[in-house]
Structures are given as C-alpha cells and as structure tokens.
Amino acid sequence: MSRIMYTTGMQLPAHTLTAHNDAAASANKIHDDTVAQQYGFRGGLVPGVSVYAYMTYPLVHSFGEAWLTRGTAQVQFAKPIYEGDQITVTGTVNTVVESEMRFDLASTNADGVACGVGTAALPTTSGIAPDPAEIPVGPRQAPRVPISWDAVIVGQALPLLTLTVTQQDNEEYCHTHTDDLALYRGARGFVHPGILLRQCNRIFSEHFILGPWIHVASDITTYRPCQVGEALEIRGVPVQKFEKKGHEFVVLDILIRAAGEAVQHVKHTCIFRPRQSQRTAS
C-alpha cells in the first residue's frame, strides 16, 4: 500500500483523457452512431467497461498491486460518453477506518456531467471468495440462443468462457484506453481490470444473439491480480431480470478464476433489450 497518509476528503491524482469508442465496429450496434441514434442517443456509446477502465486509473496509480489484489468497486454508467469526449476521472477519499479506505469515483465530461459514478474500497485484507459450485457451468449450446424475455432464465448457468490475455492484447488495450501505468507492461504485467470486466459482457453475448444492448452497472470484488499469459475461466448465471421504463434488464452473477483461484466476483447489470426512442420507433 502507498505510504501516503490518506485522510477524508483527500483527492487522488485526477486522470484526464479523450474517450475512444473501441466497440464502434462490434456486433453490439448500440456502439454504432446510426443505430444508437434510434434509441435517443447522440451517437454510438463508449462501452461501460471502457468507462470503468478509465475510472480504475486513480486507484491503481495510487495503490498499485494492492488495489488489483483486493480492491472493490461499485460503478454505474448514468450518462453516455461519446467518441472524442474530454473526460476527467476523479477519486476522493470518503472514509478511512482501520479495516479499509473508501473512495467516491466520478468520470466527468467537459460540460461537468458525471457520466460514470461509483464508489471503491481498499480493504486491509482480501474478502472470502464464493464457492465455485455456487456459480455452476452451463452446457455449451450451438447455435446461440436468440434473446427474449423468456430465453433469459434466472438460475440457468451460462456456458463456460475461457481466455488467455497475451502481452500484446494487454498493451494494446492500455494504449486505446490511455493507461500508461507500468505494472501493466511486459510479459509478466498484470491484466488490465477493464479487460477482466469486458469478459462479463462476453459470457452473455456469446450465448445469446443480441440486438443493441447496454451495460449499466457492475459491483466488483477482487481477490487477486491476474498476470498476462494466465488461463482464465469465466462462470456466469442470471440471478435477476426485471423491466423498468420499457427496458428489459438482467443481473448476472459472474466468477472469474485462474489456476483454481478466484480472481474476481462481479454482479453485472445490463439492459438486454432497450426501449427504442419514440421519435424513431416504427
């Protein structure tokens, strides 16, 4: 942990960047300008996982491996961020007690709008990871399942997702996300937390055939860092679905593991069928 004496109200070093929509050509057309406008947005959305990646910078800059080992974060993507937006990420200490420090996080655009908001914590010890049996592995299905309200079954596990992040993958991700921190570099670098969270989208999108969809929030607990070259397995299961203001939501319970150990536990909330804008809906 950093040797700096942190106190309530203290600001972590701010991080400024120009947002980049690295998913503009992805299968999720909410990141495409033309399609996103049909849902009432100005253009294609910068992915929520990218906004989270930006928001980790002050924490990792300040606490390094300690936050990647046992840090937690609860983030919501309240307002859209677009390609080229000038973003400032801030972190403010809001609690200092013997067991942990807590922080308020914000990712703010040039108009002063906090688009990504949340909290984070750095406990003095790691939490207890969930039993992998609590998040079982679903059978692999081919072809993928067309998305619908009935197709999303609470408690029905998704097929296992596997991944190995290469040094090139990691360093390219850091470049596109304006992250110059040294601990992500090299053949033994730590995998960027934005890459890990992106797998929570993938385990859902590789099982279902989706239209435009939106990642809106994540609650993340970390148990250890992941290094480049480690084989990862991602388990996931829908634990809740609900409708709000015409949008259809799902909450996924996801466990990321490496070498038989828990890396992260995530509650991941998405709008899997957004309400189309009344101005453009047919």
For residue 146, how many other CB atoms are within 10 A of its CB? Answer: 10
Tokens of 276: 């189309």
Owner of token pair 């999720």: 28
**pTM for this structure?**
0.95
Q: Which fold has domain 15-273?
A: Thiol Ester Dehydrase; Chain A (3.10.129)
The helix-helix angle for 167-176 and 193-205 (nearest 10°) equals 100
Average pLDDT estimate for 81-90: 98
Cα dihedral sign for 249, 199, 139, 141?
positive
Q: Which of 238, 220, 250 is nearest to 129 (CA)?
A: 220
Angle at the Cα of 94 from the Cα atoms of 89 and 96, rounded to 5 degrees: 125
Residue 2: pLDDT band by 50, 70, 90 thresholds? Answer: low
State the average pLDDT over residues 107-112: 98
Which among 95, 99, 256 has a CA at the least distance from the CA of 191?
Answer: 256
Q: What is the phi/psi pair of residue 67, to 5°? A: -70, -35
**pLDDT value, residue 39:** 94
For residue 245, give the amino acid letter.
Answer: K
pLDDT class of 58 with cuts at 50, 70, 90? very high
Place of tokens 């300690």: 66
Whole-number pLDDT of residue 277 = 60
Ramachandran angles phi, psi of 271, nearest 5°: -90, 110
Q: What is the 3-state secondary structure (H, E, C) of the chain?
A: CCCCCCCCCCECCCEEEECCCCCCCCCCHHHCHHHHHCCCCCCCECCHHHHHHHHCHHHHHHHCHHHHHHCEEEEEECCCCECCCEEEEEEEEEEECCCEEEEEEEEECCCCCEEEEEEEEEECCCCCCCCHHHCCCECCCCCCEECCCCCCCCCCCCECEEEECCHHHHHHHHHHCCCCCHHHCCCCCECCHHHHHHHHHHHHHCCEECCCCEEEEEEEEECCCCECCCEEEEEEEEEEEEEECCEEEEEEEEEEEECCEEEEEEEEEEEEECCCCCCCCC
Distance from first CA to last CA of the chain, Å, rounded? 55
Identity at 204, one-letter amino acid code = F
Say which residue the tokens 């989208």 belong to: 201
Distance, CA of 273 to CA of 93 (rounded, Å) = 36
Q: Using 50, 70 and 90 to split pLDDT, how confident is the model at 279?
A: very low
Q: pLDDT digit string (tens) for 165-217? A: 999 999 999 999 999 999 999 999 999 999 999 999 999 999 999 999 999 99
Q: Where are the domains of the chain?
A: 15-273
